[in-house]
Structures are given as C-alpha cells and as structure tokens.
Structure 1
Amino acid sequence: MSEVKGCDLPEDLLYSIENNVWVRQESDGTATIGLTSYAGSLAGQVVSYTPKKAGKSVKKDKSCATVESGKWVGPAKSPIGGEVAAVNDAVSANPALINNDPYGEGWLVKITPDNWDGDSAALKTGSDALEAFKAKMEADGFKGC
C-alpha cells in the first residue's frame, strides 16, 4: 500500500481523482466502489450512508450513495455507469467503516458495469494515481490524513 500525505492509496485500484473514489473490477464482472482515505479525511467521521438501491441504474460521475459526516453531506460519485448489484449492509449498520477500512469492509456499492472498458479508461492507477492525488492535495492545501 502506498501513501500520499499520510493517506493510504493502494496502487492496485483504479481511481477517479476528481471524485475521490476507487473502483476494483471483481472476478464476477461487478465493480466494487468506495471512498478513498483522502475523502474520508476531508469529510471527517462518517455518520450516515444511504446507497442507491440494488437494481437502480447509476450514470458515470453521478451519485451511487449519499454520505454524511459531522461537517459534510454529499454524493459519492460512481466512476462507472451501470446497475447497482449490491449495497454494503455492514456500512449501513456502521458508517464509520468508511473511515476505518475504506478499501476493505468500508466499500459503498457493487455495480454491474454498462461499459467497463470505456468508463475505466479514464481512471488512474499505480504511480499515475499517486502523482495525481499528490498534485490535488497540494492544490487543495491539504495538510494530510
């Protein structure tokens, strides 16, 4: 796992830098989506998670869930379009998982992609993602996780 300004950023995931979300294609063809540790640090402790329901269609760069913390309420924007295949009931019961384990138990939704190849082509991974997050954090004046 790599780190930028104290924020964990696994190099094997794909990232939408502007939306502070990650995505991982699963062996069953679905894609798991979650907030980055950077997003969790910006938002503060997450207290509420309201995902789109299974079976609902989600457009690329549109909300797949609403997340609320003590200082922020907003959408988690999906980096890919498709249909919600699963929501994370563990996060519904304990929204703090988004902060405490963003790349494991704190995932938000699983989506069956409409166009994985097209949508994922714009995402960054590995050192490209780390450099992009570093530049974003510096531009935002972010002190660190």
Structure 2
Amino acid sequence: MPAVRNCNLPEDVYYIVERHVWARKVGDLVEVGLTDVAQNLAKTIVSVTPKKVGRTLRAEQSVATVESGKWVGPVPCPVAGVLSEVNTEVVGNPPLINADPYGAGWIARIEPTDWETDSANLLTGPEAIAAYEQFLEREGISCGE
C-alpha cells in the first residue's frame, strides 16, 4: 500500500481528496469510509452517527457524522445512490476507523444510481496518490505525528 507523508493511501480505492473520503466498488454496492489522513487528523473517533438505511443521497451529501475529541463533521457520500447498509461494528466501536480505515472501519455501503458517471469525478490509482501527495505537502500534513 503506498504511503505518502506516512499516510496509507491504497491505489485500489476512489477518493475525494479534499474531503478525505474513499469509495470502493464491492459487487453492486459502493463501500464508503474515511481515509487514513482523516482518521489521523481527527485522532480517536468517539462517535459515528449514520443516516438511515434506505435514504437516497446525492453525491457529497452526508452519509454519516463522525466525532472525535478534536472534530465533528460529515462523511460525504462519494456517489449518488441509496444508503443500503451501515457498518454496525463501527457504530458500536468507532475507534475501528482509526485501527483499520480501509478494511473493518468502512462506514456505509451505497447502492449507486450511476457508478460510471459518478466515479469519473473521483480520483483513483497513481493519479489519486499524486493528488494526495500535493495536498498533504501544501497543507503540511503527515500521519502518525
């Protein structure tokens, strides 16, 4: 997994770099979570409050609210669609996002309205890593500090 400024950034997910959110196609659904950068900036996540399953969301509309000792904010949905599943493990154990942001720490699964169109607006692969590198460098952000 590529690391930029000590932040883990897998190339196999899609990113909204400025919002520190990732998306991964899993079958017919899109898994959504916070990046390693987000969990490092937030520090220990203490609360995850998802929207209700069945809710229709626009791209970048909040799929959940996450709270830490330092920060409270929305988790923007990378694609438009219907919220089909919430990770109850993360709701019951929010620091799971800190421990495994791209695995067990996923937040929600969306049934996308138009994955092909919406994913074209997201960055993935080497292009995403390069964009994140520029962002982290510009903002002076490193993970694990």
- What is aligned with 1:11? 11
Amino acid at match of 1:136: F
- What is aligned with 1:44? 43
- What is aligned with 1:97? 96
Amino acid at match of 1:119: D
Amino acid at match of 2:63: C
Q: Name the CA distance, whole Å, in 2 between partners of 1:121 and 1:139.
A: 25
Query: Closer, same or farther in 2 for the Cα pair 1:93/1:79, shift >3 Å?
Result: same
Q: Name the CA distance, whole Å, in 2 between partners of 1:144 and 1:112.
A: 31
Amino acid at match of 2:135: K
Residues 44-95 of structure 1, C-alpha deviation per residue, up to 9 Å, x if partnerless?
1100000111101111011100000001000011110110000000001100
Q: Name the CA distance, whole Å, in 2 between partners of 1:143 and 1:13.
A: 20
C-alpha displacement of 1:144: 3.0
Q: Name the CA distance, whole Å, in 1 between partners of 2:138 and 2:121.
A: 21
- What is aligned with 1:81? 80
1:1-145 matches, cutoff 5 A = 1-27=1-27, 29-145=28-144
Structure 2 contact 30–112 (Cα < 8 Å) conserved:
yes
Q: Name the CA distance, whole Å, in 2 between partners of 1:48 and 1:16.
A: 22
C-alpha displacement of 1:18: 1.6
Q: Superposition RMSD on alpha carbons, in Å?
A: 0.8
Q: Name the CA distance, whole Å, in 1 between partners of 2:141 and 2:101.
A: 19
Amino acid at match of 1:22: W
What is the identity percentage for the equivalent residue pairs of Structure 1 and Structure 2?
46
Amino acid at match of 1:56: R
Q: Which 4+ runs in 1 deviate beyond 2 A?
A: none
Q: Name the CA distance, whole Å, in 1 between partners of 2:6 and 2:135.
A: 14
Return 5+ residue gaps in structure 1 as ranges. Answer: none
> What SS does the aligned partner of 1:18 have?
helix
Q: What is the TM-score with the length of structure 2 in the denominator?
A: 0.96
Query: How many positions carry a matched residue from both structures?
Result: 144
Amino acid at match of 2:119: S
Q: Name the CA distance, whole Å, in 2 between partners of 1:144 and 1:68.
A: 18
Q: Name the CA distance, whole Å, in 1 between partners of 2:62 and 2:142.
A: 27
Q: What is the TM-score with the length of structure 1 in the denominator?
A: 0.96
Q: Name the CA distance, whole Å, in 1 between partners of 2:43 and 2:8.
A: 15
